[in-house]
Structure 1
Amino acid sequence: MKLFLAFVLFGVAFGQEWNLIWEDDFDSLDPTKWEHEVTAWGGGNGEFQVYTPDSENSYVRDGMLFIKPTLLPENINPATGEPFGEDFLTNGVLDLEELYGYCTDEDPNNCLRYGADSDIQPTMSARLRTAQRFSFNRGRAEIRAKMPRGDWLWPAMWLLPENWVYGGWPMSGEIDIVEIIGNEDLKFADSGEDIGIQYMGSTTHWGASPEQNRYYLTTAHKLNYEQDFSNYFHDYVIEWDENSIRWYLDGEFILSVPDPPVNEQPGFNFFDFGSPWSEGTSNPWQGASPMAPFDQDFHFILNVAVGGVGGYIPDNVINRGNNDLYGKPWSNSESQIDAMWRLWGTRDRWHWTWEGEDAAMQVDYVRVYEQA
């Protein structure tokens, strides 16, 4: 049955037939399919991890990809063959090119960090991408995966533009297949709504400038108490054509962008949809197709981030029954450096929640089909 499905898939919801064009079942970690990003940037959200190809943070076993965060001092320093150690965070030099042979970041400040400046992140993780290896524009993408469980983890499976045709982020778009927060018991303080491992989100980011991101117009969330997203595997699917992108969770429709689709909205374009804009804002998609910026090639990214001050992990939250001991250690109004040091200083209150491979994103497969 698996062999048959690997070649032809019938779309039940829309009566479509799909032909497989790319897949990874993770029998190995194939460098012709995936590149490890190597950077201390923080992902634009002031996150608290360094991404490297360390085999403690990403590996395959029994046909499964694991992406697992660790405390940086516990990782092996390639230069010495010994753990980095806690002293490295304040006295070491994190030269990613020297240690790992390359850095994928164009900014040299994100390739070289000094402990004396207190800007070496205290955690390490992995971020894999298919950039310059595989990208696609339209089709059906399927990922079967289990998200990590652990306080202040931020796993994501998503897509970024291959060529940034319409300019930098978010003008050229971003497609988030799924992201969650890894806390087992995290709620909004005001509403009491769960926003931890029972709660997933899917969205697109797009806008005429970084300050005018209209993601909130194209976002959906789903709660699942019976089979949360960290203790169970789920099937995450997007179907993408010239009229819309549609998200499915375990076969259930959860989001369409746009909604209704382009062919049901004569004259639709994302610039008008996102209006009003700031005075003088120009249309980055002028003259492009109605689906722009989502009419270009995008590549996959799989990663597990830790913390961040960008706002995805909000401030007004209750963790583990409103016990102050386990509250969020940092504020999003703080600098990345101040915030990550607050997290590090309270590690005895949260690191115990990163229990072995339960704290790892586990990916069974990634598959892409084109419509027959």
Structure 2
Amino acid sequence: MESMSDTVILSSKTSMAPSFSIRSVTVFRDDFNHFDKSHYRIEVDATGGGNGEFQIYTPEHQNLYTANGYLYIKPWNAKAMSNGVNHGITQITSALHWGTDRAHKRSNHNERQSNGGDWHSWHTYSLEWTAQHIICPVDNHEILRVNTPSNGFWEAGNFSGTNIWGDNKNAPFDQPFRVLLNVAVAGLGFFSDRYQYDTPKPWRNDSPHPKRDFWEKRNVWLPTWQGDYVAMLIDYIEMIQY
């Protein structure tokens, strides 16, 4: 029995309990043998994720479900070719965004090219978060490392005024965060109109109605949105506290 308010767990000898070691404890794991929605908050909105993206997040079963031990998120694991680089296929990026609001945002960003093959298969995406650093590895290869600034993130971000985050130099990364799983579609900040793509880009960033343009040219992309192949599949989530 589990109480969500106090997180009290009573387990029988035959049930699975959190695994312990001298150095760590697994505080959460989901293998998606079924979809327990009580562990998640499903977003429903059409705001574009703050990046002018075109997707709408819905709770519909055809867009979000479990099957065969996987979590499926549809409709589309996006791919784009720009300047000869397949983003998400032969190139992967990682970014840490932080700031006081969207108008005052700072970012750390890095990318990695695949050594043959592509990123379009099963991989282990991780986040190592300590008081000293935040590291984002993929398959144990470090993509991004952000060391905690000696003078704190507020000073490192060169924000003006009084430090609203207080004296902790790790702030704002000194509080609980959620794991966010999503599939984004298009957007106004990632795909330049100047680049050459492997398929025609169905909108322009300077258009007064880019989302409408995207939909009206659906003959370009809609044929690729078919079946389970277009879903992003997640095998498991695991959180380990040290």
TM range, smaller chain? 0.7 to 0.9
Following superposition, the deviation at residue 369 of structure 1 comes to: 0.6
1:334 equivalent among 190, 195, 207: 207
Hey, what's the Cα distance between the residues in 1 that align with 2:62 and 2:117? 28
Hey, what's the Cα distance between the residues in 2 that align with 1:26 and 1:33? 11
Following superposition, the deviation at residue 51 of structure 1 comes to: 1.5
Greater helix fraction, Structure 1 or Structure 2: 1
Hey, what's the Cα distance between the residues in 2 that align with 1:254 and 1:42? 26
Aligned residue in 2 for 1:7: 19
Percent identity between the two aligned chains: 33
Where do residues 1-372 of structure 1 align in structure 2 (5 Å cutoff)? Answer: 7-8=19-20, 17-69=23-75, 148=77, 153=78, 182-183=79-80, 186-188=81-83, 192-215=84-107, 218-224=108-114, 226-230=116-120, 232-258=121-147, 261-262=148-149, 265=150, 268-275=151-158, 277=159, 281-309=160-188, 311-320=189-198, 326-335=199-208, 338-371=209-242
Following superposition, the deviation at residue 314 of structure 1 comes to: 3.1
Secondary structure of the residue aligned to 1:298 is: coil
Hey, what's the Cα distance between the residues in 2 that align with 1:207 and 1:34? 25
The amino acid that maps onto 2:182 is: N
The amino acid that maps onto 2:130 is: D
Q: Answer whether contact 2:31 2:235 (CA < 8 A) is retained.
A: yes
Aligned residue in 2 for 1:88: none
- TM-score normalised by structure 2 residue count: 0.84
For the aligned residue pairs, the C-alpha RMSD in angstroms reads 2.4
- TM-score normalised by structure 1 residue count: 0.56
Hey, what's the Cα distance between the residues in 1 that align with 2:142 and 2:63? 33
Deviations 1:341-365 (A, max 9, x none): 1111111112222342221110000
Deviations 1:288-314 (A, max 9, x none): 3111111111011111122222x0333
Q: Answer whether contact 2:88 2:119 (CA < 8 A) is retained.
A: no
Distance of aligned partners of 1:367 and 1:227 in 2 relative to their CA distance in 1, 3 Å threshold: farther
Following superposition, the deviation at residue 243 of structure 1 comes to: 1.4
Following superposition, the deviation at residue 227 of structure 1 comes to: 3.7
Distance of aligned partners of 1:8 and 1:221 in 2 relative to their CA distance in 1, 3 Å threshold: farther
Number of residues of Structure 1 aligned to a counterpart in Structure 2:
227
The amino acid that maps onto 2:154 is: F
Secondary structure of the residue aligned to 2:207 is: coil
